[in-house]
Amino acid sequence: MKTPNFLLSSLSLFLVACGASPENAPSPMPAMTYPETRTEPITDTLFGVEVADPYRWLEDDRSAETESWVEAQNALTQSYLAQLPLREGLAAEFRALYDYEKIGLPRKIGGHYYITKNSGLQNQAVTYRRPTLDGEESVYLDPNTWSEDGTITGSLGAASADEKHIALIRNEAGSDWQEIRVMRTDNGEELPDRITRVKFSGASWYKDGFFYSRYPEPAGSDMSAENTFHSVYYHRLGSDQTEDILIFRDNDAPNRYHFGSTTEDEAYLVLNTSTGTDGNSIHLLDLRSWDQASPPVASDFIPVVEGFKARNSVADIFEGHLYLLTDIGAPKYRLVQIPLSAPQDASRWVDFVPESDDLLEGARFAGGNWFVQHLHNACSRVTRVSPDGRDRRIVELPQTTGTVGGFSGKRDAKELFYAFTSFNYPTTVFRYDVATGTSEVFAAPEVPFSPEDYAAEQVWYESKDGTSVPMFIVRKQDTPLDGQRPTYLYAYGGFNISLTPSFNPSLLLLLNRGGVYAMPNLRGGGEFGEAWHEAGMLLKKQNVFDDFIAAGEYLIKEGYTSSDRLAIAGGSNGGLLVGATMVQRPDLAAVAFPAVGVMDMLRYHKFTIGWGWIPEYGCADSTEADFQNLAGYSPYHNLQPGTAYPATMVTTADHDDRVVPAHSFKFAARLQACQSGPAPALIRIETNAGHGAGKPTAKIIEEQADKWAFMLHNMGIDE
């Protein structure tokens, strides 16, 4: 394990020139002075090791000093970006590419269809209401009218069983905090109900109200404060939130998530409990015997799966059986049929969809059938299965390389909708006729490009320990492999999340300039089941970085690119990936984009819901093994003075309350002090934005243009 640079307690600031002149070097720019960032002699002692944290003051993201630092850093970054020759042209080009109609999956509620659409450059999608699928539409919900900059988002949640009301989920400035409101479906009128302090929740209807999850009122207003006691409540329409009934809270375990969801017939509430992002327990509350006047007691909850070692989700409950998607005894998952009379008796569990060589990604019962989705080498496959399991037929998709989402609906639905996308296949919505089993295009976007001009392939390469890892590579058909292609290597590698093919119009800016996009499926992800996930978590996290480094080396070896034409990128856990790769292999790439990354692995669990990631990462305060492991790769702690790092643009946002901006602030400050090479070390801090969800179109266009201009310039490409 590489020895971390813990004892760096004071850092000198210096000028960095941007005008190096080797082959493929960027054109000269004026010398740049970084804003002054003071240091403090702060240290922690963990398992006998003193750990320096000279920039801890930046964790106070609401202090006047931090705000001044943010302003100075943004001023420097914007000054640098303003000088990039391609910036304005890229923004104009992307605006033209992005200006096409984007349509979501239709929902049928109360005899009407609800469809979200963005006409092209609207900051937020608008929800329309139609009496028939092809009927005249009217605006039902337009979040663009709620703010001038488009930073307030709104989406429709679940509808009540009588289909007279629907939940409205609102977020402001990209925050994870939500407000739940209620609308009438017939005319869009909002009811007085306002539910606040909601995070990671939806609205699950039961009779004249709904279940939801929220946190207690905070002691202060600190955005970074730890969130504890996630609890399930029941709200009755027309009542004040203070009258809501507490359904479940674990007073002995504040660091747990609790989610409640109801079955379509409202017979059961499914209580899903987890210690974080990995592993969960399942309990049932029989709502047919629940007295709404009083909260249920612990004994009212029927256990199905207890403990937090397995990953489970209830697919449906009907006709006396519960259908559970689980990795118990099946690392690639299986769908089991469980009698409600004895749900914990595993000897009575029957495999309805057994484990196979492909990952069982999900199962939904709709339109009188099961729609079972697998991943085959990170590409979607869908099978329709009859209720008795005997009739199984493949749902024909537009092509074999791509990603599917949808097939949700009521049990008696006659039609379902799904979306299909791939690297050169813009997201298209299909209507599926349950009776005939056929699909037809409902909405296909008109994007100004020719799909046949682009090629996507999947290759397999060898990682450091010999593991074979797949990677998608996308380029134009006529792009030469001369070892000098500007290449954007993007990955995630964590939390059981799968990266699958999808269309991103921003990539056309790169591909149309003879560039290459590469996306490996690193260990830690979910593409190949829990064994693949577990091979990249906790004490095995280094495998993820090794996989990413090997991907870059493969691209160089096979003649796609070179180190001075390679960019590495990732967001959130992927931002950690880029940061760790930078400090371990600063010579691998010319450009680095760590976005909203987890950069301080020794303190991440102390902010907002960071404690929920402990099952994935481990905790530096818990065991010496965890401390040594996390300290060995923590990006912030492993930056070394006197090192030539890639040209780096760290990105974060002032309202990111998931991975708080302090991670990026501290990393950028230390990077600027350690950088000895000519490449810039900048941080771009978005205002009125969060972790990424709900970002207005205007901000997306600006950010993408800045990214490509920064990357190409630092690869010596300015035209």
Catalytic residue set: 572, 691
- Strand order, beta sheet including 415-422: 403-406, 415-422, 425-433, 438-443
**HEC readout, 78-121:** HHHHHCCCCHHHHHHHHHHHHCCCEECCCEEECCEEEEEEECCC
N-term to C-term CA, the chain: 43
378-384: list long-range contacts, CB under 8 Å, 24+ apart.
378/458, 378/470, 378/472, 378/498, 378/499, 378/500, 378/501, 378/521, 378/527, 379/403, 379/500, 379/501, 380/404, 380/420, 380/500, 382/407, 382/418, 384/437
141 residue type, one letter: L
Provide CB contacts within 8 A for 82, sequence distance 6+. none
Cβ neighbors of 136 (< 8 A, separation 6 or more) are 130
Contact criterion met (CB below 8 Å) for 213 and 198: yes
For CA atoms 112, 118, 122, 125, the dihedral sign is positive
In order of 102, 121, 125, the CA distances from 144 in angstroms are 16, 11, 8
Asked if residue 80 lies in contact with residue 29, where contact means CB atoms within 8 angstroms, the answer is yes
Helix, strand or coil, per DSSP, at residue 414? coil
Contact 555, 487 (CB under 8 A): yes
Rounded Cα distance, 597 and 600, in Å:
9
In a 10 Å sphere around its CB, with 0-12 CB exposed, 13-18 middle and 19+ buried, how is residue 388 labelled?
Answer: exposed
Spell out the residues 6+ positions from residue 169 whose beta carbon is closer than 8 angstroms to its own. Answer: 154, 155, 156, 157, 178, 179, 180, 202, 203
Q: What SS3 state is found at 259?
A: strand
- H-assigned helices in 368-516: 507-511
- What is the DSSP secondary-structure string of 337-354? EEETTSTT-GGG-EEEE-
Contact 565, 484 (CB under 8 A): yes
The token duo for 149 is 């900059």
Q: Taking the C-alpha atoms of 160, 162, 165 and 168 in order, what is their torsion angle to the nearest 10 degrees? A: 30
CA distance 258 to 251: 12
Residue 177: exposure state from Cβ atoms within 10 A (0-12, 13-18, ≥19):
buried
Query: What size, in residues, is the chain?
Result: 719
CA-closest candidate to residue 130, choices 117, 110, 115: 115
Burial label, 504 (beta-carbon count in 10 A; 0-12, 13-18, 19+)? middle
> 224 with 607: CB under 8 angstroms?
yes
Q: What is the dihedral of CA 620, 626, 628, 630, to 10 degrees?
A: -70
Element (H, E) at 681: strand 681-686
| Beta bridge partner(s), residue 109 | 112
The H or E element spanning position 570 is strand 566-571
At 513, list the tokens: 């300039």
Strand partners, 429: 419, 443
Q: Pick from 4, 200, 10: which is nearest to 620 by CA?
A: 4
